[in-house]
Amino acid sequence: MDISKKLWGKAPDGKEIYLYTVKNASGAYVQLSSIGAGIVSIVVPDKNGKLADVVIGYKKADDYFADGPCCGKVPGRYANRIANGKFTLDGVEYNLPINNGPNHLHGGPDGFQNKVWDSRIEGDSVEFMYFSEDGEAGYPGNLKVVAHYTWGEDNALKLILTAETDKPTIVNLTNHAYFNLDGEASGTVLKHKLELNASQWLPTDKTQIPLGAPEDVAGTPMDFVEAKPIGQDIEADFEALKIGKGYDHCFLIDGYMPGQLATAAELWGPVSGRHLEILTTQPAVQVYTGNWLVGCPEGKTGRAYQDYDAVAIECQHAPDSPNKPEYPSTVLRPGEVYQEAIIYAFDA
């Protein structure tokens, strides 16, 4: 495995930003950035062996700060939404920044995705570390977070996320990469086929906070149990799809068992023949069809991204879990280790 590191820029506070390129023997490679421990590029072959980048991203390091899509990065301390920016833990109420309608999203405007993480090459892997101080964005506890990426000869990118705290807190981490398997500048992703290992989803209110109990996907546009084009039902007369102008919903992974890897999703590019399988130890997956990509920074090949040009498939815990005791817990206590894995496995 060939790993190189270069200085990519500097943050507003002067901290150096590094870009890592990890290339396997076949020439397929990934690029990773210390901004938000982010995935910048994944370059893999199509059915004819032609290499192309299959994740959207930007030309300049600076564009990754405070971008609306949270492109390719690790949001935190809590990925997804928390209702009204409030939660109670051990009898104490905590207040978080409001940055998505009335709710808290992805750790707030100064979440982990907008921080420059410490970074290093560790054997055949690249490792990023961020230390979140007690009280940062309103969260309790000093939290040490590590994102450990390994790129395989089999064109699989493995991400292991770990965290430890010195006070009870909440943690929900994911990666927010957006995929277009026909190439990042190839246009709409709505003809891609998507299959989810999920027979239930979480209906939400108009602000996209789960109402509570899951519902079956069967007989609704939320049904991806058998592969279908992403755009097949996206304009259906269905309230959930109208709320977010497309899919931006949490699906519960069938047969979830803590610590056990399971397939969350599979995605197929109709032109390239590329196939992506996503496996995870997490209980849920948020599917977001890039409904608001217009106006984000210029793409890395100079293309202005349009809505629905890529799909994010975010393995995580359910939104608003701290306020929903019936959901799998996101509480982390001193002496415990948060550890979750996500694998992006590519073939054609």
Give the tens place of pLDDT for each residue, 30-59.
Answer: 999 999 999 999 999 999 999 999 999 999
Give me the domain span that covers residue 221.
2-347
Within 13 A of 33's CA, how many CA atoms are on the CB side? Answer: 33
pLDDT tens digits for 260-313? Answer: 999 999 999 999 999 999 999 999 999 999 999 999 999 999 999 999 999 999
Q: What total of structural domains would you count in the chain?
A: 1
Q: Which pLDDT score is estimated for 56?
A: 98
Residues designated catalytic: 176, 314
Q: How far is CA 306 from CA 43, 110, 193, 299, 342, in A?
A: 21, 25, 19, 10, 27
Q: Mean pLDDT in the chain?
A: 97
Look up tokens 């190189």; give the residue. Answer: 4
Confidence band, pLDDT 50/70/90 cuts, at residue 341: very high
Q: What CATH code is carried by the domain that includes residue 90?
A: 2.70.98.10
Secondary structure of residue 239 in the 3-state scheme: helix
> What's the average model confidence in pLDDT over 145-167?
98
Q: Which of 292, 310, 290, 196 is nearest to 250 (CA)?
A: 196
Confidence band, pLDDT 50/70/90 cuts, at residue 139: very high
Structure pTM? 0.98
Round to whole Å and give the CA distance between 329 and 29.
35
Q: Which pLDDT score is estimated for 310?
A: 98
Tell me the residue length of the chain.
348
